[in-house]
């Protein structure tokens, strides 16, 4: 990676809600996930779905990860559990969890961590649950695998886990198949499954995207409730900045496989440093219905670049209103300012802050 | 469920009735009748004798009327007399049915027992060497005609090596269980090899599709053992389409048995039907073919029941 000759200092935002620095639960450094991309003219080429991704997930926080579809959010999350779908491969970096590098652990050790210490819930609870097993069985199975419980105890544990996520009459509902319950209930069952073993980390990959707005709010509330009750760390992935603003303590913004900005949630929403983040925030509908400030929602022009043919320099330059020659010449590194915020933009200095 | 079963049984009965007429009509359309055989066997028979015999057996009446008479008798439990065997039809049919059940049952179970792990292994590592090897084997199995395979097996094991009988069954009272088993090896092997390839391909395709599903990723994210993910979460779902195809293929298996039994002179339904048709033994051919139809219908019914057992989303009310 090319570094610019000189990088501008990052202006500290007005306020910053930095939590006291505890040692992170998971510390990711330089994560790189590659997919082979066959092309008939150039032969085998490799695209990097996640490129030099580094971040720390601290205990008890909700860390938001936001970005457009295909920017590498899910692949980043899946790589932490060793679940990158083939032919994708982790080609670099480390992810330290309790002193061990998750990316280098053998499959058998990872199996003991998945679902027990680090759990994951997915976007579409209809397809993420196995249609031929009852939800009780699917929760109980986790307890049997990790806690070595016998069938009867695991079933009781499953019913308790379902009750804890607000499923009424859990003993009866546990015998229901996924198609017999509502979407919100299914996502609750997914959450019960993920939390059954009391994990330290929950990765929530677009957990509300497939749900209608009211159920979405209920699931968000449930996750926040569980999080504050158990103090687990949550990596909350969404393309929906609105949901992220409700749940996250800190937010990371990803673009075309790279992190472009990271900041405490309030600071990010009140003073985004990266023009892409700013663009995303501008696309949020603001104001109540009938509010005079309502306007036609802007869009960020252009599309995400093809990961197989990335431009030289900044990946966002083509769509960026502030791009200069320097941006097209070299890729801006993700740099940490004095306030702990990180941003990857040459323009994120005083000149950018001056923009309205 | 019981209501559904009743409906299906009634449907099957209707199909069977239609089949009986179709088979009756087709046999009636075949050139030659039993009287022609008598003529060719007995040069002294005159055409007046033949006409008299035709009238006696009712063969001069229109086919609809003959079918009506036959149906009436059959519904009363009288399936007629096998001319070839000089016994009531059922007395000939039941032992043959038993023999075929043993042959088909064994080769079916063996074929599935081999095809399931092979198909799963191929799907777990698609486009790997293992997968290519299994596919090669499967396509070879599909491509080899059973009659040719049967002949090769006979040449190898009965002629060259001389360790297995070339066909038939042990003579009455000759040898015990193991002697009988020796006679089964080659026909069972032929039918098994002929169906393994197809079954393996079905299992592989269904598993490939299933392993792509989100719930497989969920199962892995739960920290389940790989084998548990594959054999519990994936296989259970993959079996649903496999059961359909395999059950619908039951009819093919039956017709495969016809050729195999004929080659190995194995006294089963296939050989019985073949011989009965060649000898113009109408009563026997008719009932034997109807039994084949009945077994196919039964296979379909079993498939539907297995469906409901495998997939909770399907319920019959």
What is the rounded average pLDDT of the residues B86-107?
88
Contact criterion met (CB < 8 Å) for B313 and A177: yes
Q: Which of B215, B223, B310 sits opposite A127 (nearest CB)?
A: B215
Q: CB distance A119–B310 less than 8 Å?
A: no
**Which residues of chain A neighbour B239 with C-beta distances below 8 Å?**
none
Q: Write out chain B residues lying below 8 Å of A116, CB-based.
A: 223
User: Which tens digit of pLDDT belongs to each residue from B243-302?
Assistant: 888 887 777 777 778 888 888 988 888 888 888 888 888 888 888 888 888 888 888 888
C-alpha angle B108-B110-B115 in degrees, rounded to nearest 5:
95
Give the tokens for residue B228: 């548990």
Q: Does A190 touch chain B (CB under 8 A)?
A: yes
Two tokens at A214?
């009211």
With a CB-CB cutoff of 8 Å, which residues 237-276 of chain B face chain A?
Answer: 237
CB contact under 8 A, A107 and B226: yes
Cβ contact B217–A179 (<8 Å): no
* Sequence-ordered list of residues with C-beta below 8 angstroms from that of A236, at least 6 positions apart, any chain: A62, A63, A64, A65, A204, A207, A223, A244, A247, A248
CA–CA separation, B64 and B71 (whole Å): 10
CA distances to A95, A204, A258, A275 from A54, rounded to whole Å, are 9, 18, 9, 20
DSSP element (H, E) containing B87: strand B87-88
Distance CA A183, CA A179 (A): 9
Q: Does B87 touch chain A (CB under 8 A)?
A: no
Residue B175 DSSP class: S
Taking the C-alpha atoms of residue B214 and residue A138, their distance in angstroms, rounded to an integer, is 14
Say yes or no for a CB contact (<8 Å) between A107 and B213: no
Peptide bond connecting A53 to the previous residue in cis, omega within 30 degrees of 0:
no
Q: Would you state the pLDDT for residue A351?
A: 42
Q: Do B311 and A130 touch (CB under 8 A)?
A: no
Q: Determine the Cα–Cα distance for residues B74 and B253; give it in Å rounded to an integer.
A: 27
Does B223 contact A113 at a Cβ distance shorter than 8 Å?
yes
The counts of H helices and E strands in chain A are 13, 12
For A113, list phi and psi in degrees, rounded to 5. -90, -45
Q: How confident is the model at residue B317 (pLDDT cuts 50, 70, 90)?
A: low
Burial class (CB within 10 angstroms; exposed 0-12, middle 13-18, buried 19+) of B40: exposed
Instruction: Report CA-CA distances (Å) from A75 to A51, A119, A309, A339.
Output: 11, 15, 19, 29
Q: Report pLDDT for B292.
A: 82
**Contact check, Cβ <8 Å, B224/A115:** yes
A278 to A215, A255, A309, B21, B45: CA distances (angstroms): 28, 13, 25, 78, 107
CB contact under 8 A, A114 and B223: yes
Could you give the CA distance from residue B238 to residue A130 in angstroms, rounded to a whole number? 12
Alpha-carbon distance of A334 to A316, in angstroms, equals 14
A209 touches chain B (CB under 8 A): no
Using the Cβ of A129 and the Cβ atoms of chain B, whether some distance falls under 8 Å is answered with yes
Residue in chain B nearest A142 by alpha carbon:
B222
As a whole number of angstroms, the distance between CA A349 and CA A328 comes to: 17
Residue in this structure with the two tokens 């519904």, named with its chain if needed: B75
Averaged pLDDT for residues B127-144:
92
Q: For Cα atoms B219, B225, B227, give the angle at the middle one, nearest 5 degrees.
A: 95
Average pLDDT over residues B59-76: 85
Contact (CB, 8 A) for A136 and A152: no
State the Cα–Cα distance between residues B291 and B45, nearest whole angstrom: 35
Q: CB count, 10 Å around CB of A104?
A: 12
**Burial (Cβ within 10 Å: 0-12, 13-18, ≥19) of residue B33:** middle
CB pairs below 8 Å between A and B: how many? Answer: 76
Identify each DSSP E strand in chain B by its residue range: 81-82, 87-88
CA gap B261, B266 in Å, rounded: 5
**Alpha-carbon distance A49 to A36, whole Å?**
10
- pLDDT over 90 at B120, yes or no: yes
Nearest residue to A76 via CA among A135, A120, A116? A120
For residue B313, what is the DSSP state?
A: T
Q: Check residue A151 and give its pLDDT.
A: 92
Per-residue pLDDT reduced to its tens digit, B157-172? 989 988 888 877 776 6
Contact A114, B221 (CB under 8 A): yes
CA distance B279 to B38: 11
In 3D space, the residue among B233, B219, B229, B235 whose CA is nearest the CA of residue A114 turns out to be: B219
Query: Given CB atoms, is A109 within the 8 Å cutoff of chain B?
Result: no
Closest partner CB to A132 (pick from B217, B228, B310): B310
Contacts of B170 by beta carbon, 8 Å cutoff, 6+ apart: B179, B180, B183
Count CB atoms within 10 A of the CB of residue B238.
27
Encoded tokens for B118: 């092979």
Residue A183 to residues A158, A178, A180, A348, B164, Cα–Cα distance (Å): 19, 9, 10, 42, 62
The distance from CA B202 to its chain's CA centroid, rounded to whole angstroms, is: 19
pLDDT score for B238: 93
Cα(B289)–Cα(B167) distance, integer angstroms: 23
Alpha helices in chain A (DSSP H): 73-80, 107-113, 125-128, 135-147, 151-164, 170-173, 183-195, 213-230, 241-247, 265-270, 275-282, 325-329, 350-354
Say whether residue A113 is in contact with chain B using an 8 A CB cutoff: yes
| A179 interaction partners in chain B (CB closer than 8 Å) | 312-313
Q: How many angstroms from the chain centroid is the CA of residue B126?
A: 32
Contact B313 A190 (CB under 8 A): no
CA of A130: which chain B residue's CA is closest?
Answer: B215
Pair A66, A239: CB distance under 8 Å: yes
**ipTM greater than cut 0.85:** no
pLDDT of B30-44, one tens digit each?
Answer: 777 777 777 777 778
Q: Is the CB of residue A207 less than 8 Å away from at least one CB of chain B?
A: no
Pairing of the two strands A250-255 and A26-39: unpaired
**Secondary structure (3-state) at A32:** strand
pLDDT at A2 (0 to 100)? 44
Cβ–Cβ of B215/A130 closer than 8 Å?
yes
Q: What SS3 state is found at B261? A: helix
Q: Give the residue on A whose Cα is nearest the Cα of B213.
A: A127
Q: Smallest CA–CA separation between B222 and chain A, in Å?
A: 4
* Chain B residues in contact with A193 (beta carbon < 8 A): 218, 222
Asked if A125 contacts A205 with a C-beta cutoff of 8 angstroms, the reply is no
The predicted structure's pLDDT at residue A15: 38
Residues 6+ positions from B298 with CB-CB distance below 8 Å: B12
Residue of B nearest to A123 (CA): B214
Mean pLDDT of chain B: 86
The Cα A13–Cα A96 span in angstroms is 30
**In this structure, what DSSP letter does residue A114 have?**
B
- Name which of A81, A85, A131 to mutate to probe chain B: the one with the most chain B Cβ atoms within 10 A of its Cβ: A131
Residue A83 near chain B (CB below 8 Å): yes
Chain B contact for A97, CB < 8 A?
no
Of residues A85, A107, A114, nearest to B221 (C-beta): A114
- Determine which of B124, B206, B213, B218 to mutate to test the interface with A (most A C-beta atoms within 10 Å): B218
- More confident call, B111 vs A307: B111
Mean pLDDT of B95-104: 88
Cβ(A114)–Cβ(B219) below 8 Å = no
Q: Is B219 on the interface with A (CB under 8 A)?
A: yes
> Which domains does chain B carry?
2-83 (no CATH), 90-310 (1.10.3720.10)
What is the pLDDT at residue A8?
40
Please give the DSSP secondary-structure letter assigned to residue B223.
T
- Indicate the DSSP class of residue A6: S
The tokens for A60 are 């008890």
Q: What CA–CA distance (Å, rounded) separates A199 from A201?
A: 6
Chain A residues in contact with B222 by the CB 8 A cut-off are 114-115, 119, 141-142, 145, 193
- Which of the residues in chain A have pLDDT under 70? 1-22, 38-44, 286-295, 349-356
Note the pLDDT of residue A291: 58
What are the chain B neighbours of A190 within 8 Å (beta carbons)?
Answer: 218
Helices and strands per DSSP (H, E), number in chain B? 14, 2
Residue A307: which of A257, A253, A261, A239 has the closest Cα?
A: A257
- Report CB contact under 8 Å: B217, A119: no
């Amino acid at each position: 990676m090319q570094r610019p000759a000189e990088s501008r200092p990052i202006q500290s935002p007005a306020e910053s809600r930095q939590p006291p620095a505890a040692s992170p639960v998971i510390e990711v450094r330089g994560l790189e996930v590659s997919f082979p991309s066959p092309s008939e003219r150039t032969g085998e080429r490799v695209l990097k779905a996640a490129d030099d991704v580094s971040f720390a997930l601290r205990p008890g926080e909700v860390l938001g990860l936001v970005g457009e579809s295909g920017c590498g959010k899910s692949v980043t999350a899946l790589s932490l559990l060793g679940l990158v779908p083939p032919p994708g491969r982790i080609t670099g970096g480390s992810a330290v969890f309790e002193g061990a590098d998750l990316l280098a652990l053998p499959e058998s050790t990872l199996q003991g961590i998945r679902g027990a210490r680090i759990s994951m819930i997915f976007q579409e609870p209809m397809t993420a649950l196995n249609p031929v097993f009852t939800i009780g069985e699917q929760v109980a199975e986790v307890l049997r695998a990790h806690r070595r419980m016998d069938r009867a105890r695991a079933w009781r544990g499953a019913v308790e886990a379902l009750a804890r996520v607000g499923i009424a009459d859990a003993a009866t509902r546990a015998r229901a198949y996924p198609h017999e319950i509502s979407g919100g209930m299914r996502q609750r069952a997914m959450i019960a499954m993920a939390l059954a073993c009391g994990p330290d980390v929950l990765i929530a990959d677009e957990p509300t995207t497939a749900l209608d707005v009211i159920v979405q709010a209920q699931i968000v509330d449930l996750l926040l409730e569980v999080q504050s009750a158990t103090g687990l760390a949550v990596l909350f992935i969404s393309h929906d900045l609105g949901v992220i603003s409700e749940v996250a303590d800190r937010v990371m913004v990803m673009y075309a496989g790279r992190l472009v900005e990271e900041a405490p949630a309030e600071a990010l929403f009140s003073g985004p440093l990266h023009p892409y983040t700013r663009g995303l925030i501008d696309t949020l509908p603001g104001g109540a219905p009938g509010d005079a400030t309502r306007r036609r929602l802007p869009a960020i022009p252009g599309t995400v670049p093809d990961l197989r043919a990335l431009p030289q320099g900044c990946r966002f330059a083509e769509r960026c209103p502030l791009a200069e020659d320097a941006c097209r010449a070299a890729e801006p590194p993700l740099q940490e300012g004095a306030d702990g915020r990180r941003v990857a933009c040459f323009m994120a200095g005083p000149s950018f802050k001056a923009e309205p | 469920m019981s209501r559904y079963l009743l409906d299906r049984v009634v449907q099957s009965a209707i199909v069977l009735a239609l089949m009986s007429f179709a088979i009756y009509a087709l046999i009636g359309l075949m050139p030659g009748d039993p009287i022609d055989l008598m003529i060719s066997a007995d040069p002294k028979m005159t055409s007046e004798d033949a006409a008299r015999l035709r009238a006696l057996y009712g063969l001069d009446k229109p086919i609809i009327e003959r079918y009506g008479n036959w149906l009436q008798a059959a519904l009363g439990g009288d399936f007629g007399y096998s001319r070839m065997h000089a016994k009531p039809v059922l007395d000939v049919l039941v032992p043959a049915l038993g023999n075929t059940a043993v042959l088909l049952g064994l080769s079916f179970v063996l074929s599935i027992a081999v095809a399931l792990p092979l198909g799963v292994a191929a799907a777990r590592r698609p486009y790997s060497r293992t997968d290519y090897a299994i596919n090669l084997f499967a396509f070879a199995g599909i491509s080899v005609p059973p009659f040719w395979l049967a002949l090769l097996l006979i040449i190898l094991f009965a002629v060259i090596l001389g360790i297995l009988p070339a066909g038939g069954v042990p003579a009455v009272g000759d040898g015990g269980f193991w002697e009988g088993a020796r006679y089964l090896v080659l026909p069972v092997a032929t039918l098994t090899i002929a169906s393994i390839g197809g079954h393996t391909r079905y299992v592989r395709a269904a598993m490939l599709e299933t392993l792509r599903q989100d719930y497989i990723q969920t199962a892995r994210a739960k920290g389940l053992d790989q084998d548990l993910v594959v054999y519990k979460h994936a296989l259970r779902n993959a079996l649903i389409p496999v059961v359909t195809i395999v059950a619908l293929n039951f009819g093919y298996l039956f017709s495969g048995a016809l050729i195999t039994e004929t080659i190995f002179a194995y006294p089963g339904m296939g050989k019985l039907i073949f011989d009965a048709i060649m000898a113009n033994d109408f009563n026997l051919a008719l009932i034997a073919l109807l039994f084949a139809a009945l077994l196919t219908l039964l296979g379909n019914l079993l498939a539907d029941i297995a469906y409901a057992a495998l997939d909770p989303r399907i319920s019959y009310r």
